[in-house]
């Protein structure tokens, strides 16, 4: 079962595409948008993350840190980031496989991947927005932007 608004966001530490560890605890005091996605280089995921890249100022201007998380290994994420020019960290939930996605209730055991889960964690570590989309169901990002605007209000 995925998290709901008001739940405490599970803590995690994951390597980014450069093998640098990113910890949710270290970001406390800053709102964080967590964007779980199935696989680097796949069609829908690439489209979603490219839209996020192109509209990143909507989040960074509001003081929100954006983190994208998949179960891909760091080497794939490094190539994906370089190819697409992403300016936000791509975190690897590769090993133990999908543990963070499981903690957020967005891991598909059968396929061994994260599903499209999006969580806005406020500066105190509570979930301020939560949305989970089915496999093959692209996300509409307007809800994330509204949630970010709500934090700033």
> For the residues 5-12, what does the mean pLDDT come to?
97
CATH class of 29-152: alpha beta
Rounded to an integer, what distance in angstroms lies between the CA atom of residue 140 and that of residue 75?
A: 28
User: How far apart, in whole angstroms, are the C-alpha atoms of residue 90 and residue 100?
Assistant: 14
CA 38 to chain CA mean position, Å:
11
For residues 115 and 96, give the distance between their C-alpha atoms in angstroms, rounded to a whole number: 17
Inter-residue contact 37 to 116 (CB < 8 Å): yes
At 105, list the tokens. 């209730």
Q: Is the pLDDT of residue 2 over 80?
A: no
| 50 belongs to the catalytic site | no
Q: Any idea how long the chain is? A: 153
pLDDT band at 93 (very low <50, low <70, confident <90, very high): very high
Rounded CA separation 36/115 (Å): 7
| Per-residue pLDDT tens digits for 36-50 | 999 999 999 999 999
Residue 70 predicted with pLDDT over 70 = yes
Query: What's the pTM?
Result: 0.95
Instruction: Give the tokens for residue 106.
Output: 């967005």
- What average pLDDT does the segment 52-80 reach? 97
Domain regions of the chain by residue span: 29-152
Catalytic one of 40, 45, 132, 147: 45
Distance CA 4, CA 127 (A): 7
DSSP H stretches of helix in 22-152: 43-54, 57-60, 74-84, 99-103, 142-152
CB 41 within 8 A of CB 76: yes
């Amino acid at each position: 079962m995925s998290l709901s608004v008001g739940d405490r966001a599970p803590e995690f530490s994951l390597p980014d595409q450069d093998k640098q560890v990113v910890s949710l605890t270290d970001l406390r005091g800053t709102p964080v948008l967590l964007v779980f996605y199935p696989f680097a280089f796949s069609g829908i995921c690439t489209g979603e993350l490219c839209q996020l890249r192109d509209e990143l100022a909507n989040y960074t201007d509001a003081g929100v840190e954006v983190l994208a998380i998949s179960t891909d290994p760091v080497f794939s994420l490094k190539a994906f980031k370089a190819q697409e020019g992403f300016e936000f960290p791509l975190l690897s939930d590769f090993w133990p496989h999908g543990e963070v996605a499981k903690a957020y209730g967005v891991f598909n055991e059968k396929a061994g991947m994260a599903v499209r889960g999006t969580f806005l964690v406020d500066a105190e570590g509570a979930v301020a927005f939560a949305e989970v989309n089915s496999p093959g169901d692209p996300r509409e990002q307007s809800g994330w932007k509204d949630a970010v605007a709500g934090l700033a209000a």
